[in-house]
Amino acid sequence: KQEVTQIPAALSVPEGENLVLNCSFTDSAIYNLQWFRQDPGKGLTSLLLIQSSQREQTSGRLNASLDKSSGRSTLYIAASQPGDSATYLCAVPWMDSSYKLIFGSGTRLLVRP
Partner 1 sequence: NAGVMQNPRHLVRRRGQEARLRCSPMKGHSHVYWYRQLPEEGLKFMVYLQKENIIDESGMPKERFSAEFPKEGPSILRIQQVVRGDSAAYFCASSPEDSYPDEQFFGPGTRLTVL
In this complex, which beta carbon is closest to partner 1, that of residue 25 or of residue 80? Answer: 25
In this complex, which beta carbon is closest to partner 1, that of residue 9 or of residue 79? Answer: 9
Q: How far from 97 is each of 50, 52, 65, 72, 110, CA to CA, in Å?
A: 18, 16, 24, 21, 34
Positions touching partner 1 (CB under 8 A) are 4, 31-32, 34, 36, 41-46, 49, 89, 91, 93-94, 97-106
Smallest gap, in angstroms, from Cβ of residue 93 to partner 1?
A: 4
In this complex, which beta carbon is closest to partner 1, that of residue 31 or of residue 81? Answer: 31
| Max CA distance (Å), the chain | 44
Q: By C-alpha distance, which of 26, 9, 105 is closest to 70?
A: 26
